[in-house]
Amino acid sequence: MSAPPRPSATSRTPGARTSRPGSRPPARRSRLVEEPAPAEPRQARLSHIVAGVVSAGQAVVLSLAVVVLPAVVAYLVGTATPATPTGAPDDAAQVGSAIDVAMGIWLLGHGVPLTADAVTLTLAPLGVAALALFATYVSAKRFATTTVPAWAAGAVTYALCTTAVAAIAGTDPRWGLLMAAVAGLVLGGLGMLLGILARPDAPTAAEIGERAEELARRLTGADLVPATLRLGLRGGAVAVTLLIGGAALLVAGWTVAGRATSSDIITALEPGATGGIVFAVAQLALLPNLVLWAAAWLAGPGFAVGVGTSFTPFGTISGPLPAIPLLGALPGDEWVNPVSAWTPVLVVACGVVAGVFAWRRLEPTLVRWSDVGWVFAGIVVTPGVVMLLGQWVAAGAGGPGRLSDVGANPLVTAGLVAAEVGGGAAAVLLGAKVDAVGLLGRVRDPGDDAGRGPEGAVVGLPHDEGSGDDAAERSGGPDGPDGRGGPDEPGQPAAGTGGTTPA
C-alpha cells in the first residue's frame, strides 16, 4: 500500500498555517524583546527609596526651620544695639547657642528631654510634634510613592535625622540619642504612612483592613477582631472626637475669659514685635497640651501646673506660674460653681452618642448579648487608650522646683473617661437590646430559631457587613437547617425579623 500523496503548494488554501521554520521569529529573540530587562525592577525600587528619603528629609528641614529661625531672629534683633555691635567676637558662639536651644525644643516636641543649666525639661510641646507630623504628611503625599520601600525609607531617614540633630545639639544624657531615634522612627513612620495613604493611588482604609483581616484569617484560621468589636472601636472614636472638640471649645472660652490677664503679662514683658512672634510660636506649641488638660478637666480629675496646684471643675488651687501669656487662660475660681460640677455629664453624653452610633448600624433582631459586649468593649477601650497615651505625652516637668509636676494624671484620667463614656454607651446598648428582645418575642413564632439570620450576615450586623461562611454555618448550609431553603429565599422574610429591614 502506497503512502498518501503530499499536498502540493498549489492545493493549500489561503491563510493556512505552514510549518516552515522561517515563518515565526526565534523564541530567544521574542523573549529578549518582550520581557523587561532585569535591571528595571531594581531601578524602580531605588526610585521608591529615594522618594521616601527626599520626603522625610524635606519634612525635617521644614519643621526644624520653623522652630530655629524665630530663635535666631530674636537673638539677632536683641543684640543689634549701639552698645553691642553685631561684629563682636562672641557673636558666632551666641548664635550657635541659640540654634542649639531651638534644636533642643524641636527634639523636646519629639519626646527627647531637654537639659539646660542642670535643669531637665520633659514637658513635650505637642504643637511641635503636630508641626513635624503635618510636614511629614504633606511631604509624603507630594513626593513619596505608594510603596512599602518608600514608607520604610522615609521612616528610617527621619529617625536618622532626629538622631543627628540630637548629636549636634549635645543632648544629655547620652541615652537621649536612643530616644531621639525611637521617637523619630515612630513619628516619621506615622507621618509617612498618613501621607502615602492620602495619595490618589493608595488603597483606602477599608481595603487595608480587609487585607489585614484576610491575612490574619489565613494565618490563624479565625477572625482576630470580630466585626462587632470593630464597630465598637468606631463608636469609641466618635466619643473621643466629641470629647476633644468639647475640650477645644472650653479652651477657647478660657482664653476669652482670661484675655485681660494674658494682656497684662505681655505688657509687663514688653517683648516687642520679634519677641511677640516668639511668644506666639511658644504658645501655639503648648496649645494641644492645654486642650488635653481641658479634657481631663471635663472628666473630673483635672490637671496641675506645678506641685500643689489643682484645676478641677470642683475647685481650684493655684500658685505662682511662669510669665507665659497662655497660662493666663487657666480656669480660676470663677469657673467653679454648681454648674461646673456637672461637667462629667458631658463625657457621659459622648458615650450616649457613641452607643447610638453603634446601635444604628446593627440589626436589632440579630444582635446577641455577646455582640453587645463586643460593641461595648470597643467603645470603652478607644477613649481609655487615647486618653492614657495623650495625657502621658502631654505631662512632664516644665521647669525646676515646683514646676516639676505639670499635666494630668494619665491613669486616673483614662480610667474616669472610659468609665463615663462606657456608662453612657451601656445605657443605650442595654436599653435598646432589652427593647429588641421584647419586640422579637412578640413577632416571632415559637418554633423559630433565635439565632438564624439572613445568609451572609455576621451576628448582630446587617447582611452587607458580614461573612457568608459564618452565616452558612449558623443556618445549617445554603438550604437551611431543614433542607427547605435558606431564610432569605426570594419572597420570604428572614426568620424572626418580621420582614423588617436592617437599621
Considering the chain, what percentage of its residues have pLDDT values greater than 90?
38
Last residue of a domain, one of 379, 411, 437: 437
Domain with 361 in it = 227-437
Q: Are residues 236 and 184 in the same domain?
A: no
C-alpha grid cell for residue 180? 531621639
Q: Please give the Cα distance from 289 to 283 (Å, whole number).
A: 10
Pairing of strands 119-121, 114-116: antiparallel
Q: Are residues 194 and 232 in the same domain?
A: no
Q: How high is the pLDDT of residue 478?
A: 43
209-247 pLDDT, tens digit per residue, is: 778 778 777 877 777 778 889 899 999 999 999 999 999
Among 130, 132, 120, 95, which Cα is nearest to 171's?
Answer: 120
Query: Whose grid coordinates read 472626637?
Result: 241
Among 183, 114, 109, 126, which Cα is nearest to 394's?
Answer: 126
Q: Please give the Cα distance from 91 to 94 (Å, whole number).
A: 5
Last residue of a domain, one of 408, 437, 466: 437
Q: Are residues 299 and 378 in the same domain?
A: yes
Q: How confident is the model at residue 274 (pLDDT cuts 50, 70, 90)?
A: low
In a domain, 420, yes or no: yes
Structurally, how many domains does the chain consist of? 2
Q: Are residues 196 and 248 in the same domain?
A: no
Q: How high is the pLDDT of residue 292?
A: 95
In a domain, 290, yes or no: yes
Q: Are residues 88 and 163 in the same domain?
A: yes
DSSP state of 344: H
74-88, 136-150, 280-294 — which is least confidently predicted?
Answer: 74-88
Sequence-distant (6+) residues with CB within 8 A of 211 are: 203
Q: How high is the pLDDT of residue 461?
A: 55
* Residue 234 · residue 362 · CB < 8 Å: no
Higher pLDDT, 106 or 12: 106
In a domain, 15, yes or no: no
In a domain, 178, yes or no: yes
* Residue 485 · residue 496 · CB < 8 Å: no
* Residue 319 · residue 303 · CB < 8 Å: no
Helix (H, G, I), strand (E, B) or coil at 319: coil
In a domain, 215, yes or no: no
Q: How high is the pLDDT of residue 462?
A: 52
Across 236-245, b (16+ Cβ under 10 Å) vs e yields bbbbbebbbe
Q: Are residues 240 and 363 in the same domain?
A: yes
* Residue 415 · residue 385 · CB < 8 Å: no
Q: Are residues 190 and 260 in the same domain?
A: no
In a domain, 472, yes or no: no
60-83 pLDDT, tens digit per residue, is: 999 999 888 887 777 777 665 544
Higher pLDDT, 42 or 177: 177
Last residue of a domain, one of 143, 169, 202: 202
191-195, 284-288, 309-313, 451-455 — which is least confidently predicted?
Answer: 451-455
Q: Are residues 277 and 389 in the same domain?
A: yes
